[in-house]
Amino acid sequence: MSTLTGKRILLVIAGGIAAYKALDLIRRLRERGASVHAVMTQAAEQFVTPLSVASLSGEKVHTALFSLTDEAEMGHIELSRDADLIVIAPATANILAKIANGIADDLASTLLLATDKKILAAPAMNLRMWLHPATQRNLEWLRANNVAFSGPDNGEMACGEYGPGRMSEPLAIVSAIESIFAQGETTLPLPPGVGVRPSRPPGILAGRRVIVTSGPTHEPIDPVRYIANRSSGKQGTAIAEAAARAGAEVVVISGPVAIPAAAGATTIHVETAREMLEAVSRALPADIFISAAAVADWRVDAAAGDKLKKSGSGAPSLHLVENPDILATISQHPTLRPKLVVGFAAETTGLIEHARQKLARKKCDFIVANDVGAGTGVMGGAQNTVHIVETGSVDSWPKLDKDAVAARLVGLCAQKLAENAQ
């Protein structure tokens, strides 16, 4: 079995007349059991075609840094680190200069800077380019920084001159590759401590389980129409995300909304108030329950099976019945009441008084009251003005973005839990 069996080679083909030798190099490597992924510079495509390279390697050839398809399938970081060794053949003066000077202006040069693998370069260039002080300076730096070389050889150039600069023959490059693998590990370590994600202090809700209801409910009248409200779910979603950032395990029970689900939380989608209550009940037990959803108070007692049609005799008569009270049910649960139950009161008149009545009636720990009257822009908007209503006190917060309201509310919940534990 060849020493190259199962090895993954990333071959960078730069732009030079010697690029044709890369085709034979691919064939020699595959004969020995190695797999070859190729990256070609734009200049290399002037000498050999990606189709020729792909036909010999049996793999897709990568050419463009900003190819959306490539970035979705295998970005340049992954491409540069998925291989066991990177080989540049031919390695032009240009690409060697880019590596030595930290230039990343195409796919090849970018992945060569981003890789964590050893690099073997097979230089190929005019003898005066090879002997130029700038090239020799670059070579000195590269040799000192984990870049190995195969060649160049002395010989006749395509330009007619004779001297150093001729690319090594494919079998000589294969031999150099085998020598590198014989030396052992080809992954280059980072300096101690670099690349290690710093540990984060535990969040203020670490180890807690939080259930948040969010958005409206839709109560069907018939297969087409429903009773609903203007809630966007933005405030509930913001609260869920803030709780997740604080380290909590978060479950969101969301009515129909048109915004993305809360990041870092598990979202359960429901439609009606009865479905929401059932989902909340299944999600128990929890440390905190925040009832931020704007649940429809009523539903049609029996939704029509077919679309209600105009008959010329006036509007249909709808018999409404009360929906279950989710906040009161959870707040007064005989066995699984969360340690902290928070309700919301969205009002258009008598805000604080109605919130106090709701607090007493629902028996929750405190109410977040907000004015949703015409002109406030709260329903569906990005900001909110809330009042924390407790038995015997009201704390009015300034107008804040809903994200800021959420963060402040999560902090208050953590504080309340800590106080209750004392």
Q: How far is CA 31 from the centre of its chain?
A: 40
Active-site option among 131, 158, 159, 382: 159
Tokens of 304: 């029509």
DSSP class of residue 207 equals T
Closest CA to 215 of 255, 157, 248, 252: 255
Active site residue 364: no
Q: What are the CA-CA distances from residue 124 to residues 104, 117, 131, 334 (Å)? A: 21, 22, 12, 81
Q: What does the buried/exposed string (b/e) look like for 205-233 if buried means 16 or more CB atoms within 10 Å of the residue's CB?
A: beebbbbbbbbbbbbebeeebbbbbebbb
Which residues are registered as beta bridge partners of 117?
Answer: 187
Q: What is the spatial distance between Cα 38 and Cα 106, in angstroms, rounded to a whole number?
A: 14
Residue 183 CB coordination number (10 Å) = 9
Among 156, 179, 180, which Cα is nearest to 167's? 156
| DSSP symbols for 267-298 | EEE--SHHHHHHHHHHH---SEEEE--B--SE
- Catalytic positions, please? 159
